[in-house]
Amino acid sequence: MLIKPGIAALELTAVIMGRPNTIYPVLLWDEEEAVLVDTGYPGQADLIAAELGTYALPSGGLTRIVLSHQDIDHIGSLPVLAARSAGAVSVMSSAFEKPYIEGQLRLLRITPEAIEQAVRSLPPNVSDEWKQAFRHSLEHPPSCPVSDIVNDGQELSCCGGITVIATPGHTPGHISLYHRASKTLIAADALTVNEAGELCGPDPATTLDPEQARRSLAKLLDYDIEAVVCYHGGLYRGDVRGRLSELAQPAGI
C-alpha cells in the first residue's frame, strides 16, 4: 500500500490462533537506502520479500531494519530477513528492547502462564503435533543481534528524514517513527485503528503500562502528522491532531 513516494505499508495476513490477522510493517526507501520497520510473524519472510519486490528499491536491498519493540509479531521474521540481505543490514532498536530481541532475556509477554494459556486457546481441531510446534515457537522465539541503538529524538538522515520517538507503555522500550517527507507517523503499537476506521489508543489487553502509553501519545502532538500507520489496523488519514488530543487526555477529563 503506497502512502506517498518513498513510503509504503506492507499488508501481511496470517492465520493466528485460528483467526486471520493482518499486520502492517512499513517500508521506506530512497535512491541509496531501504528501511523496514518491523518484520512480522515467524514464517512471513517470503511474504515480506514479495512485497518488497513490488517497489523500486536500491540494488542492494534492505540497508536497515528498525524494530519498534520485542513482541513476536514484530521480530518474527527478523533473523531470516537479516540473513538474506544482499549486503550488511543495520538492525536497530531502543536500548531497553535490545536484550529481548537478541534472546538474552525472555520476552516480557512470554511467561510460562502465557504459553499455557495460548496453547489452551488453540482451536480444538489443531493437531497435537502442531500444538507442540506452536509451544516450541513461544518457548524459543526468534532472535537476532541488534547492531545499533536508537534514542528518543534521534534523526536518521535517510529516506526523507526519520525521527525516532520514544513511546513507552505498550512495552517499556517501545518506539514510533516520524517520516518528515510524507508527514507520516509510524505508530507501531502505540496506536491502533479499529474496524470502524477510527484511530484508537494501544490495545489495553496487551499494553503493559496503559498510563505511560497515554502520556506517550501527548508527545506526538509535537509533530505535524497527516497520516498514521498502525501495526494493527493500518492507515489512518482523518483528523489526526484532534484524535490524538482526545486520546492523550487523562481518564475522567
Predicted pLDDT at 136: 86
Q: pLDDT tens per residue, the chain (253 residues)?
A: 999 999 999 999 987 666 788 999 999 999 999 999 999 999 899 999 999 999 989 988 999 999 999 999 999 999 999 999 867 899 999 999 999 999 999 999 988 998 998 888 888 887 888 788 888 888 899 999 999 999 999 999 999 999 999 999 999 999 999 999 999 999 999 999 999 999 999 999 999 999 999 999 999 999 999 999 999 999 999 999 999 999 999 864 4
Q: What is the pTM of this model?
A: 0.93
Residue 178 contacts residue 185 (beta carbons within 8 Å): yes
DSSP state of 222: G
CATH homologous superfamily for the domain 2-103+141-248: Ribonuclease Z/Hydroxyacylglutathione hydrolase-like (3.60.15.10)
Provide the 10 A C-beta neighbour count for residue 19: 8
| Alpha carbons 138 and 71: distance in angstroms, whole number | 11
Predicted pLDDT at 250: 82
Nearest to 118 by CA among 106, 103, 132, 100: 132
Q: What are phi and psi of 80, to 5 degrees?
A: -70, -45
Q: Concatenate the DSSP letters of all residues of 170-221 into one string.
A: SSTT-EEEEETTTTEEEEETSSEE-TTS-EE---TTT-S-HHHHHHHHHHGG
| Alpha carbons 98 and 183: distance in angstroms, whole number | 28
Predicted pLDDT at 196: 95
Residue 11 contacts residue 22 (beta carbons within 8 Å): yes
Nearest to 102 by CA among 130, 53, 141, 153: 141
Nearest to 202 by CA among 212, 211, 213: 213
Residue with cell 528524514: 161
| Alpha carbons 89 and 35: distance in angstroms, whole number | 9
| Alpha carbons 239 and 253: distance in angstroms, whole number | 20
Residue 89 contacts residue 53 (beta carbons within 8 Å): no
Predicted pLDDT at 19: 73
Residue 106 contacts residue 118 (beta carbons within 8 Å): no
Domain range list for the chain: 2-103+141-248, 108-140
Predicted pLDDT at 92: 99
